[in-house]
Amino acid sequence: MANPTLRPSAGTADSLPGTPDFDTYPISESITAAKTDGAVVTVVWSDGVKSRYHALWLRENAADPATLNPLTRESTYDLAAAPEDLKASSVFVDATGALVVGFEPDGHETAFHPGWLRVHDYSNGPAGLVEPVGPQLWTAADLDEPPTFDGTAILTDDAVLDDWLTALARRGLARLRNVPAEPGMVGKVARRIGTIRDSNFGHVFDVRARPDPDSNANTALALAPHTDLPTREYQPGLQFLHCMENTTAGGKAVYVDGFAVAEKIRQSDTDAFDALTTIPWTYTNRARDTDYRWLSPAVVLNADGSYHEVRIGGFLRGPLAVSFDDVPRAYRALKLYSQIACEPALQQIFAYRIGDLVCFDNRRILHGREAFDAGGGARWLQGCYGEREELHSRLRILARNRRLQSAP
């Protein structure tokens, strides 16, 4: 950070020494020609690819200390004050291979690392936010129990942590074995990923049959597969459940890939899929001191049609409040979804052992349980919530550290 030059130094072509950036940008190709027409800079690469960059895009992405605070790595460029007639008035490739751009009328000159420029080229198809690990849907035929890892190793060994989290990102759930059955351990495991999400149920909560339950979760009732906190605008992205005690008859865990359930409907029943993804259900959770309400379709898609999240939870659904003609469509679709979610071919069903800790994507994986006999023993889980973005951040940091360690 002391030396903020962006010019690649000889000999370490794929790192950015001195740049206020934690990432590295391999130089796969060099710049063979560059020109500017003022509004757009055109660069030709050694593999023949031509990339174009707008002047203002280049100006605000300058990584020199006049533009990017070298201490915080945050921009200080004021877009509101950018000259209306900003131009990239000159370009040349310097001896290190960097593209040097001069701007008018502000007279600024800055160098761009070729590896960084190539990675951020948006002129040959839009670049996007690519997650290192995408979801891979499953049924019981693919995966009849959660991918399982050692619960002690993940606390100290980044490679095992990475394996666990990669499986979690891909399959939406992963299990740890032999996590010490000590109160609060679930929080310690969650913090290996990132920040814990607090809720009105507490930072770390207990799931067990209680004489004064504030939720069906704290009874001995069976629970149909569901997501937690569907009454909130932002359902927790991760849920952690740690088995502290389990001597009751029954109470087996049930897990279902909520995206796989939706996919089955998408491929067989267009009207039901349309109803699931467009008609909002009402969720309400009224207690003595809180009153949460939210409306959302059961299945929410991303702009590209991929699955964003599911929101399923019969016991917290409030009265459906949509147009009269949508009511039968909405019920038919949600009933179909609920029935498929109960098909054994889609479910993982297993008993928790003491020390088991299952982490799952609560916006994708439905969880439930069989009823149990509260009089015949004890069943005690400790849980907490986290977010998908903490998982993605941790996976990026693990990947970054791996790259740094493997650098020459």
* Segment interacting with its own copies, rule: CB under 8 A, options 92-100, 115-123, 171-179, 249-257: 115-123
Sign (positive or negative) of CA dihedral 262, 265, 270, 274: negative
Beta-carbon contacts of 1 under 8 Å, excluding residues fewer than 6 positions away, are 18, 20, 70, 71
CB 176 within 8 A of CB 190: no
- Dihedral angle at the C-alpha atoms of 348, 132, 337, 226, nearest 10 degrees? 60
Could you say which residues in the range 255-284 bind its own copies, by CB under 8 A? 282
Closest CA to 334 of 305, 365, 299, 284: 299
- Select from 187, 338, 370, 403 the one that contacts its own copies (CB under 8 A): 338
Shortest separation between residue 114's beta carbon and its own copies, angstroms:
15
Could you say which residues in the range 19-58 bind its own copies, by CB under 8 A? 21-23, 52, 54, 56-57
Reported residue count of the chain is 408
Nearer to its own copies, 133 or 221 (CB): 221
Closest CA to 311 of 380, 259, 377: 259
Nearer to its own copies, 96 or 215 (CB): 215
- Select from 213, 247, 268, 404 the one that contacts its own copies (CB under 8 A): 213
Shortest separation between residue 319's beta carbon and its own copies, angstroms:
5
Q: Per-residue x/- marks for its own copies, 134-173, CB under 8 A?
A: ----------------------------------------
Helices (H), ranges, 43-123: 55-60, 114-119
Q: Which residues pair with 312 in a beta bridge?
A: none
d(CA 169, CA 188): 19
- Select from 113, 118, 171, 197 the one that contacts its own copies (CB under 8 A): 197
Shortest separation between residue 302's beta carbon and its own copies, angstroms:
11
Shortest separation between residue 390's beta carbon and its own copies, angstroms:
8
**Does 104 participate in binding its own copies (rule CB under 8 A)?**
no
**Does 123 participate in binding its own copies (rule CB under 8 A)?**
yes
Q: How many helices (H) and strands (E) does the chain have?
A: 9, 20
Could you say which residues in the range 60-99 bind its own copies, by CB under 8 A? 60-61, 69, 71-80, 82
- Select from 100, 322, 349, 371 the one that contacts its own copies (CB under 8 A): 322
Count of CB atoms situated within 10 Å of the CB of 345: 9
- Select from 144, 182, 214, 373 the one that contacts its own copies (CB under 8 A): 214
Nearer to its own copies, 400 or 402 (CB): 400
Nearer to its own copies, 11 or 72 (CB): 72
- In the sheet with 31-36, reading across from the earlier edge strand, the strands are 31-36, 40-45, 50-54
